[in-house]
Amino acid sequence: MVTHSSGNHAAALAWAAAATGRSAHIVMPSNAPAVKRCAVEGYGAKITLCEPTDEARARGASEVCAATGGALVHSSNDPQIIAGQGTVGLELVEQGMETWPAEGESPGGLDCIVVPIGGGGLTGGVAVAAKGLSSGSLTVVAAEPELADDVCRSKALGAIQGHRDGKNPTTIADGLKTLLGSDTFPLIRDCVDDIITVSEADIAAATRLVWERMKLAIEPSAGVGVAAVMSSAFRSRHGDKKRVGVVLCGGNADLPKLLGILSTAAPAPSGCMLEGEQEGDDKRPRLA
């Protein structure tokens, strides 16, 4: 089994290979967080480092496949991977129907799902599954770092776009640097209703908020979705959505680096509530 990944998919594939008695070969960019490399090695996979570009990753995986005879398992651009990741949408819809209606609310489950996006496998799978199962009008929003906004530009232009100036993005959301592929782009184009981009400062602040208030150890890539929901863009375009589900897409964080990010991030804005806190002004963001 062969793949190229900066960490999350790599760890999952390495674990799956070990659990089924197979070998795993992972091509990772040289700037991948050390904690992700350690996790992959801990599951017994062999790592091959490459330059931190999409071209180098794909080329490295192709070379490893040729040398080992292994099969490529892409992190996003594969129908089976997309289908598997789409089960997140299934779970969200089911949980939404169980959670709502609350007292005084009409039935209907979730109004909106927000998913951080990189290569588009998770977002595309969630969009297809959730919209196929939802009985009402469900909006799917992709959340993306401003510094890695290739998906936003791809959807706007109707064709897959690379990174700006052909350079590897420097966003703290390192798990979202992967580009769209031939299988994922049509799903994003046709099934995702909107894409909201967020700044590095907002990503850091949202990540800190989740750590402090929800006590969940997320990585900045997961904070992108929370940052999008708290943005003025979301309020202006989707402010009518009252039942919003946000996918927290990972906790595979480089702790020394993350502590630096969290220590300098802005604290939660005044009036921001999380599930279980005292309710007040209905216009304040409320994260469940």
Three-state DSSP at 50 gives: strand
On average, the pLDDT of the chain sits at 89
In this predicted model, what pLDDT tens digit does every residue of 160-207 receive, in sequence order? 999 998 888 899 998 899 999 999 999 999 999 999 999 999 999 999
What whole-number distance in Å separates Cα of residue 82 and Cα of residue 4? Answer: 16
CB distance 135 to 215 below 8 Å: no
The enclosing H or E element of 196 equals: strand 194-198
**Share above pLDDT 90 across residues of the chain, in percent, rounded to a whole number:** 68
CB 174 within 8 A of CB 221: yes
Q: List all residues 6 or more positions away from 87 whose beta carbon is below 8 Å from its beta carbon.
A: 125, 129
Nearest of 199, 246, 221 to residue 6 by alpha carbon:
221
Residue-wise burial string across 221-256, b where 16 or more C-beta atoms lie within 10 A, e elsewhere: bbbbbbbbbbbeebeeebeebebbbbbbbbebbbee
DSSP single-letter state for residue 213: I
pLDDT at 157: 97
Question: Please, which pLDDT band fits residue 52 given cuts at 50, 70 and 90?
Answer: confident
Q: Which amino acid is at 238?
A: H
Query: How far, in Å, CA of 255 to CA of 270, rounded?
Result: 27
Domains, the chain: 2-75 (3.40.50.1100), 80-287 (3.40.50.1100)
* Residues 130, 142 contacting (CB under 8 angstroms): no
Mark residue 120 as left, alpha or beta (left: phi above 0; alpha: psi -120 to 50; beta: remaining): left
The lowest-confidence range among 1-10, 64-73, 147-156 is 1-10
Rounded distance, CA 4 to CA 6, Å?
A: 7
- Please state, in angstroms and as integers, the Cα–Cα distance from residue 163 to each residue in 53, 137, 169, following that order: 10, 33, 7
Rounded to the nearest 10°, the torsion over CA 251, 201, 123, 177 is -80
In the three-class reduction of DSSP (H, G, I as helix; E, B as strand; rest coil), residue 95 is classed as: helix
User: CA 56, CA 62: separation in Å to the nearest integer?
Assistant: 10
pTM, whole model, 2 decimals? 0.87
User: Residue 31 pLDDT more than 90?
Assistant: no
DSSP-derived letter for residue 106 is -
- Identify the bridge partners of residue 244 per DSSP, sorted by sequence position: 112
Read off the pLDDT of each residue in 32-50 and give the average, rounded to a whole number. Answer: 91
Q: Is the peptide bond before 101 cis (omega within 30 degrees of 0)?
A: yes
